[in-house]
Amino acid sequence: MSVDQLLKRILKKKVSVGIIGLGYVGLPLVLRFCEEGFKVIGFDVDRKKVDLLKRGRSYLKNIPSYRITRFIRNGLLEVTDNFSHLRRPDCILICVPTPLTEKKEPDLQYIENTTASIQSHLRKGQLIVLESTTYPGTTEELIRPRLESTGLKVGRDFFLGYSPEREDPGNKGFTTSQIPKVVSGVTPSCKKMVATLYGQVIRKVIPVSSPKVAELTKLLENIYRSVNIALVNELKMLADRMGIDIWEVIEAASTKPFGFTPFYPGPGMGGHCIPVDPYYLSWKAQEYDFATRFILLAGEINVHVPYYVVSKVQDALNGMGKGLKGSKILILGVAYKKDVDDARESPALAIMDLLQKKGATLLYHDPFIPILPHFRKYHFKLQSSPLTLPLLRRMDAAVIITDHSQVDYEGVVKNVPIVIDTRNVTKGMKRWNKKIVKA
């Protein structure tokens, strides 16, 4: 299939789209293409996800099942764990995880395995786009040579590009179609192909000169947040020693109509992006004999925050004449952010691990995460406890880590002897000030 032929088919929505990885990034993208009338094949190695989707059921809180059911029924959506079907779609989008190793180095096994699967079934006329966050050079240095080893030539026989995901689960103000999409291609024809495809489902497409530019764009977005979160977390710890309420400081600074963007402190960093992505650039920078000191310092500060929170819990209990060992502590919220069902890299996990190692007995409540799954570094055999009055009165302390909207925080503060608040949700509860510790 020639460049012009594939472009015409994209514009007429006659191409089929394959999306590999049906998680928080891939599944919304699947639905967006289906909504515009494209036939979509979803691929995932997780058989449980595939079976649920085939039955029209969602496993993500922010995606209701009815959005999936209608596309399964009308035949626009097919899902499979059989990667031999990769020869069928005209356009393949890669939305697989890019975690870190224990040594905080890029773990590209999912991209490598996916590339190998595509390589085995690559045919002329296919468009391949990587969406996973990664270091600059991944598309051209890792994926391109492996696909060209088939004898097919990029820009002539197949097309290759990069377009970083920008999903923000739980943010109802920005849907997939509303978030501008940065796109790039290995060759000019590749870039045109990628821009045309996404232009059918995203309102605004921003072409850039190369995949490296697009890859670094994504990293910059998350490093910007990482550095600013580290800054405000460091100031939080300093303000605590100085007896100053950092939240009041931020609120006052936010009244400046220019030159200031508010960032808010918390119990640490979480999610699949901000705690991970900066290290991808730091690792790649070593290839150029360059030390990313600022980025690494921000990472060090953010990694330290859970230790600070645990120290505040310990101090609060000491003030009541109790030790941390043997104390019953209720963790409020284990998701990495408000009103989502994703606990990946959540600071709650590090805080819970530290508290357990110091001998505390833990319970948790999270309306979005009924059972804690097995994580890369942590395995807690716990399930969410309902916030009953007897339970609250049995607790020695409660730690607010995730500020979910559904929780009755005033009821918690009223009935638990001491509450450690990392999110400022107890602001305004002045009658209970003696029971509240900001952390």
Across 6-20, 234-248, 370-384, least confident range? 370-384
Domains 3-211 and 225-438 share a fold: yes
Which helix (DSSP H) or strand (DSSP E) does residue 181 occupy?
A: strand 181-185
End-to-end CA distance of the chain: 60
pLDDT in tens, 149-164: 999 999 999 999 999 9
Please give the average per-residue pLDDT across 68-81, as a whole number: 96
Please give the average per-residue pLDDT across 240-244, as a whole number: 96
pLDDT band at 1; cut points 50, 70, 90 = low
Phi, psi (degrees; rounded to nearest 5) at 283 = -65, -45
Top-confidence residue, 102 or 434: 434
The pLDDT, as a whole number, for residue 232 is 96
Known catalytic residues? 273
Domain locations in the chain as residue ranges: 3-211, 225-438
Distance CA 347, CA 303 (A): 9
Chain CA centroid to CA 300, Å: 20
User: Which tokens hold the place of 339?
Assistant: 């009103």
Distance CA 247, CA 236 (A): 8
189 has pLDDT over 80: yes
Chain CA centroid to CA 315, Å: 32
pLDDT in tens, 250-297: 999 999 999 999 999 999 887 667 778 888 999 999 999 999 999 999
Q: Return the CATH class of domain 225-438.
A: alpha beta
75 has pLDDT over 90: yes
pLDDT in tens, 352-388: 999 999 999 999 999 999 999 888 788 898 999 999 9
- The average confidence (pLDDT) of the chain is 94
The dihedral sign for the CA sequence 25, 31, 36, 37: positive
Do the beta carbons of residue 139 and residue 172 sit within 8 Å?
A: no
Q: Give the rounded percent of residues in the chain with a pLDDT score beyond 70.
A: 99
| Domain 3-211, CATH homologous superfamily name and number | NAD(P)-binding Rossmann-like Domain (3.40.50.720)
Torsion of Cα atoms, 200 then 86 then 114 then 217, to 10°: -10
Chain CA centroid to CA 259, Å: 28
Interacting residues of 102 by C-beta distance below 8 A, sequence separation 6+:
377
What's the full length of the chain, in residues?
439
- Cα diameter, the chain: 76
Do the beta carbons of residue 72 and residue 54 sit within 8 Å?
A: yes
Chain CA centroid to CA 382, Å: 23
39 has pLDDT over 80: yes
314 has pLDDT over 90: yes
